[in-house]
Amino acid sequence: MSATGIGAAVRRKEDQRFITGKGHYTDDVSRPGQTFAYFVRSPHAHAKLHSIDVKAAAAMPGILAVLTGQDLAGDKIGNLICGWMIHSKDGSPMKMAPHPALAATKVCYVGDPVAVVIAETLAQAKDAAEKIAVDYEVLSAVTDPAKAKSAAQIHDVAPKNTIYEWHLGDSKATDAALAAAKHITRIDLTNNRLVPNAMEPRAALAEYDSGTDSLTLWNTSQNPHVARLVISAFVGMAPEHKLRVIAPDVGGGFGSKIFIYPEEVVCLWAARRVGRPVKWTSDRSEAFLADAHGRDHVTHAEMAFDGDGKITALKVKTIANLGGYMSTFSSSVPTYLYATLLSGQYAIPNIYCEVDAVYTNTVPVDAYRGAGRPEATFVVERLVEVGARELGLDPAELRKRNFIKSFPHQTPVIMAYDAGDYLASLKKAMELADVKGFGRRKRDAARHGKLRGLGYSTYIEACGIAPSQAVGSLGAGVGLWESAEVRVNPTGSVEVLTGCHQHGQGHETTFAQLVSERLGISIDQVSIVHGDTDKVQFGMGTYGSRSGAVGMSAIVKALDKVEAKAKKIAAHVMEAAEGDIEFRDGKFTVAGTDKSMAFGEVALAAYVGHKFPTQEIEPGLKEGAFYDPTNFTFPAGCHICEIEIDQETGETEVVSWTAVDDFGTLINPMIVEGQVHGGIAQGVGQAMIEQTVYDKDGQLLSGSYMDYAMPRAHNFPAFKVDTTETKCPSNPLGIKGCGEAGAIAAPAAVMNAITDALGTEKIEMPATSMAVWRALQTMNRNQVAAE
Amino acid sequence: MKPAPFAYAKARSVEDAIALLAQHGEGAKLLAGGQSLIATLNMRLSAPRILIDLNGIAGLNSITLKGGEVEIGAMTRHAEIERSDVIRKHAPLIAMAMPHIAHPAIRNRGTIGGSIAFADPAAELPACLLALGGLVEIAGPKGKRTVKADDYFKGLYETAIGACDMLTGIRLPAAPAASRYGFAELSRRHGDYAVAGLAASATFASGKLTKVRLAFFGVDLTPVRAKAAEMALAGGDLDKAVAALASDLDPPDDIQENGAVKKHLAGVLLRRVVQQLTETRA
């Protein structure tokens, strides 16, 4: 292993610029003659849009244009799309409603943009926006997914506000197994709606070059190539080769920056209309209304057990809230990213899942850290825990009885798990968490008037969605391979161009570590280039913890080609047979001799072309590769949470957290640990304090950090984080992916611990101190009534 | 610029600020630390015609011990108070409350005058003022006057400060030897506004509490004294004091808690604070 190679916990190369304020984000880019966009948004959740009077606004100082949905339609700008086709049980396609970038005839959620003001300054744009008079006819609104089907119809194409009624698995076999069950555990769950809140708000800067009739978009995107494809092919803004998308440094995404949003489309369109660059930067209040939200499921689930505590069936019915319009990948989240993971870590012979996706008058919902897999884990892990309590079994014991123990394992819900050792991570976590000492800790807590609870979450997830053929057959509008290009410079330094995009993951370090490992050069000799459609030919971006498993595998393929060609050149230079050249630790050696060349010397030889026949071997050293995996990867692990509840106030504290994850090969253990920490924090935030509140009229009451609580460092104990390792057999590095695991595992662990402490299952996320206190009061009342 | 356009004037003295207020009337807002005002401006929830900046007025940021009173100038930053030995020794209740006020960045900028004048019902310092029975110094077109804390809070964000007045400082009785103080607050996260909180002062001698002042915050439109509970405590009956909160307090529902829960939490806070008031000192 080289000092900066695979497995080295080297510090992140990019952090120096980020923590010293030298990062270069979209809002840092300024173009000559730049103007500013400000969006006028609907204050109503559901309304007909009769007219917009822009005259007074247009006459304000500094105003270049005030544009509406009618103008957009007049210029034949296409609608935004959802790129994953889902068919209902009856074979009908999902009901995708038209989604114009500016609403023209009706608005479907508070925050739906209806007009844009383009001005010399942002202040002028905001001042003018206040003069725009919009004539709305307010309609009744619905925000609760469980009530959507009986509410006022939002889109003509979707009767009963139903987008699809989808299912997966064998209904008959599952019902039969339920009928034959010794015990059935039933549970009703809400998976609460979340606001993503990346540190950097979204931004877009669009510039039109009339000389070449081309557009450039700087954008906070997790996948600039997909943005270019959609904006070109579907929105019809410009031909693909006339549109350049640059996603520079991006400050967090968590999924919310995967999607193609109205604002970037409008900026591009407006830049061409006014003939000057147009910049929009969201402020935080706007982000609450303009960035796709996450989760928002209502679920009833039943798990059947036989007399030995073996799970015989799982039946799940979920209503998924997709909001006012279908966001870019919204349809896939509650279907193929959710129901396919319902087997968890368990051998469950029969599974059937129905998912109804509905429109409501709320911000569109799409993928958010984990995307479908946290929802699946929550269902399975709550059921298993409650099942164990009902059966009088230790929850760890029940899990052990049902773990999948041989691989590959075909589940009844599409997935074929390739490798894992679930018992190993459970055992290790139980030791680290000192589960044996829990009884003593619980008694100690009781002496201080506290209730202490312990909860497990033995989760599984699927990363690196693939192969492309398979995802295509499931409805995806794109392939999910990745590309890489390795450019070796004459001096032996290396640039790697990747189709992945980093927005917090540390690719500039981990991808360089792979090159360091393979070529024997330091990571300082390696630059990672990403996020610009003019530099990188194509790529699918970063989400779903895919960059290690898929993106780095593409780099491996390109490095294989570089090494093969370099060996040929080295053979010529050293006048040896190609088969005798060995490459190790950055040196090409003629086997059995002391003749050798450093990697840099071979690179120079490749570019000068003096010592090899350039008619047979092309000069230069640059290779590209596309890599399409043969399967998903399946990270899994065990998280154990302990909480304490103050019985007087309901205040609930996470007092201990243990995470043992199997991510396959670790490239940089320090970065992996950081990813786990962040994921747990987000998952605990969801479980305990992040509460998205709509009132009955569809107003978002939790629209700022005053009202929407994000967790802070003091909400957590020091995490105990460790790993186990089974290599992923379907990619060359054995990587599984680590970016989302914490957020997937954590909510179930928290809720299992809280319900363990309370002795009731009747509490929903977020389990705020008030919710916990209420649950305690209800229990006390019931006890009094029973006595 | 995020806010709607406004004019700006920098006051050179208290008199200057009063004159500017008189000139511009209701359309003017005084700018102290700006930790609440600027946020409402930026969100365009308020749009004053003119901001009168008090940050250039000399002599308003002092903490002094004078004639048995601690005087704190209106423009004294929370961070200065937090680090003040005078406060720690002679106004320990204020020192106890300080760590609960938001975060260091906000405490670096926010002022005690701003906090008392804004009078957020869930804020810590207005309740401390009330618990200590302090005095508020107000300057107006007709000169200076002093208002007792008990007479100062009028309603939601309403105080004895008139439209053309300015708060110039507060005076707190310096802590006598037998005095005891208690402070407890429940909030969603540390630093957030309180769901419910209690600031208290009392004298504790021979195992008996006297001169009890209980100021609850986050449970009504202003910080409120719980006078029946105070009397019960002076009578040595904690259970009776907790029960008395039922008549002392009538918390309205808000986005975080309903009123009934807040009333229960007030009782929990009272027990915890009485523990602080009566515990043996090391």
Q: What is the per-residue pLDDT across A695-711, written as a single tens digit (0 to 9) for each?
A: 999 999 999 998 899 99
Alpha-helical segments (H) within A215-313: 224-233, 262-274, 284-290
> Using CA atoms, how far apart are residues A575 and A611, in angstroms rounded to an integer?
9
Q: What pLDDT score does A37 carry?
A: 98
The percent of residues in chain A predicted with pLDDT above 90, rounded, is 97
- Tell whether the torsion through CA atoms of A719, A723, A728 and A731 is positive or negative: positive
| Cα A433 → chain centroid | 29
Q: Out of A427-436, A475-484, A666-675, B134-143, which region has the weakest mean confidence (pLDDT)?
A: A475-484
Helix (H, G, I), strand (E, B) or coil at B5: coil
Q: Which residues of B touch A709 (CB under 8 A)?
A: 188-189, 192
Place B1 in a pLDDT band, splitting at 50, 70 and 90.
low
Helix (H, G, I), strand (E, B) or coil at A395: helix
> CA angle A445-A447-A453, nearest 5°?
25
Burial class (CB in 10 A: 0-12, 13-18, 19+), A656: buried
Q: Which residues of A touch B257 (CB under 8 A)?
A: 770
Tell me the shortest Cα–Cα distance from B254 to chain A, in angstroms: 11
Q: Do the Cβ atoms of A127 and B5 come within 8 Å?
A: yes
> Using CA atoms, how far apart are residues A143 and A330, in angstroms rounded to an integer?
17
Please tell me if residue B58 touches chain A, with a CB cutoff of 8 Å.
no
Place A55 in a pLDDT band, splitting at 50, 70 and 90.
very high
Task: Give the residue from chain A lying closest to B196, CA to CA.
Answer: A649
Q: If you average pLDDT over residues A235-240, what whole number do you get?
A: 96
Fold of A31-139+201-252+257-281: Aldehyde Oxidoreductase; domain 3 (3.90.1170)
Fold of A481-627: Aldehyde Oxidoreductase; domain 4 (3.30.365)
Max CA-CA distance within chain A? 96
Task: Give the residue from chain B lying closest to A710, CA to CA.
Answer: B189
Task: Give the residue from chain B lying closest to A700, CA to CA.
Answer: B255
Entry field: residues in chain A:
787
Q: Do the Cβ atoms of A714 and B256 come within 8 Å?
A: no
Taking only the tens place, the pLDDT of each residue in B21-68 is 999 988 999 999 999 999 999 988 889 999 999 999 999 999 999 999
Question: Phi and psi (nearest 5°) for B270?
Answer: -60, -45
Kindly report, as residue ranges, where domains of CATH 3.30.365.10 are found in chain A.
297-465+631-699+707-786, 481-627
Q: If you average pLDDT over residues A254-274, what whole number do you get?
A: 98
ipTM above 0.85, yes or no: yes
Q: If you average pLDDT over residues B106-118, what whole number do you get?
A: 97
> Using CA atoms, how far apart are residues A711 and A679, in angstroms rounded to an integer?
12
CATH number of the structural domain B7-53: 3.30.43.10
Q: If you average pLDDT over residues B210-221, what whole number do you get?
A: 96
Task: Give the residue from chain B lying closest to A715, CA to CA.
Answer: B189
Tell me the shortest Cα–Cα distance from A762 to chain B, in angstroms: 19
Q: Which two tokens stand for residue A121?
A: 């300054």
Give yes or no for a contact between A229 and A167, defined as CB atoms under 8 angstroms apart.
no
Q: Which two tokens stand for residue B89?
A: 């020794």
Mutate one of B35, B42, B256 to test the A interface: name it (highest A CB count within 10 A): B256
Taking only the tens place, the pLDDT of each residue in A162-213 is 999 999 999 999 999 999 999 999 999 999 999 999 999 999 999 999 999 9
Q: Do the Cβ atoms of A770 and B261 come within 8 Å?
A: yes
Burial class (CB in 10 A: 0-12, 13-18, 19+), A16: exposed
Q: Do the Cβ atoms of B188 and A130 come within 8 Å?
A: no
Question: Phi and psi (nearest 5°) for B130?
Answer: -70, -40
| Cα A712 → chain centroid | 21
- DSSP structure string for A648-708: TT--EEEEEEEEEEE-BS-S-HHHHHHHHHHHHHHHHHHHHT----B-TTS-BS--STTTS
**Which DSSP letter does residue A551 get?**
I
Q: What pLDDT score does A398 carry?
A: 98
Residue A1 has pLDDT above 70, yes or no: no
Please tell me if residue B188 touches chain A, with a CB cutoff of 8 Å.
yes
> Using CA atoms, how far apart are residues A530 and A251, in angstroms rounded to an integer?
15
Q: Alpha-carbon dihedral of residues A246, A247, A248, A250, nearest 10 degrees?
A: 170
Q: What pLDDT score does A647 carry?
A: 94
Q: If you average pLDDT over residues A670-691, what whole number do you get?
A: 97
> CA angle B107-B110-B111, nearest 5°?
115
Give yes or no for a contact between A299 and A188, defined as CB atoms under 8 angstroms apart.
yes
Residue type, position B8, single letter:
Y
Helix (H, G, I), strand (E, B) or coil at B179: strand
> Which residue is associated with the tokens 């419910």?
B196
B1, B186, B193: residue with CB nearest A651: B186
Please tell me if residue B268 touches chain A, with a CB cutoff of 8 Å.
yes
Cβ atoms within 10 Å of B204's Cβ, excluding its own: 17
Fold of A297-465+631-699+707-786: Aldehyde Oxidoreductase; domain 4 (3.30.365)
Burial class (CB in 10 A: 0-12, 13-18, 19+), A736: buried
Q: Do the Cβ atoms of A649 and B4 come within 8 Å?
A: no
Question: How is chain B split into domains, by residue range?
Answer: 7-53, 63-173, 182-277
> Using CA atoms, how far apart are residues A84 and A582, in angstroms rounded to an integer?
47
Residue B280 has pLDDT above 80, yes or no: no
Mutate one of B6, B100, B198, B265 to test the A interface: name it (highest A CB count within 10 A): B265
CATH number of the structural domain B182-277: 3.30.390.50
Q: Do the Cβ atoms of A649 and B268 come within 8 Å?
A: yes
Q: If you average pLDDT over residues B123-141, what whole number do you get?
A: 97
Burial class (CB in 10 A: 0-12, 13-18, 19+), A199: exposed
B32-36 long-range contacts (CB < 8 A, ≥24 apart) are B32/B74, B32/B75, B32/B111, B32/B113, B32/B114, B32/B117, B33/B77, B33/B109, B33/B110, B33/B111, B33/B114, B34/B109, B34/B114, B35/B102, B35/B106, B35/B109, B35/B110, B35/B114, B36/B114, B36/B118, B36/B120
Q: Do the Cβ atoms of A707 and B255 come within 8 Å?
A: yes
Q: Do the Cβ atoms of B2 and A283 come within 8 Å?
A: yes
Q: Do the Cβ atoms of B256 and A770 come within 8 Å?
A: yes
Q: Does B104 sit behind a cis peptide bond, omega within 30 degrees of 0 on the bond before it? A: no
In the beta sheet, which residues pair with residue A186?
A302
Task: Give the residue from chain A lying closest to B265, CA to CA.
Answer: A649
Q: What pLDDT score does B281 carry?
A: 64
Place B253 in a pLDDT band, splitting at 50, 70 and 90.
confident
> Using CA atoms, how far apart are residues A380 and A398, in angstroms rounded to an integer?
13
Q: Which two tokens stand for residue A411?
A: 């589940």
> Using CA atoms, how far apart are residues B46 and B216, in angstroms rounded to an integer?
28
User: What is the domain class of B63-173 according to CATH?
Assistant: alpha beta
Question: Phi and psi (nearest 5°) for A713?
Answer: -55, -35
Q: Which residues of B touch A715 (CB under 8 A)?
A: 189
Which residues of chain B from 191 to 220 reach within 8 Å of chain A, CB to CB?
192-193, 195
Q: Which residues of A touch B264 (CB under 8 A)?
A: 773
- DSSP structure string for A92-135: PBP----B-SS-SSEE-STT-EEEEEEESSHHHHHHHHTT-EEE
Q: Does A277 sit behind a cis peptide bond, omega within 30 degrees of 0 on the bond before it? A: no
* H-helix or E-strand spanning residue A36: strand A35-41
Task: Give the residue from chain A lying closest to B259, CA to CA.
Answer: A770
Give yes or no for a contact between A102 and A42, defined as CB atoms under 8 angstroms apart.
no
Task: Give the residue from chain B lying closest to A653, CA to CA.
Answer: B189
Q: Quick one: which of A542, A218, A188 has its CA closest to A369?
A: A542
Residue A380 Cα distances to A185, A214, A351, A384, angstroms: 11, 50, 11, 6
Residue A101 has pLDDT above 90, yes or no: yes
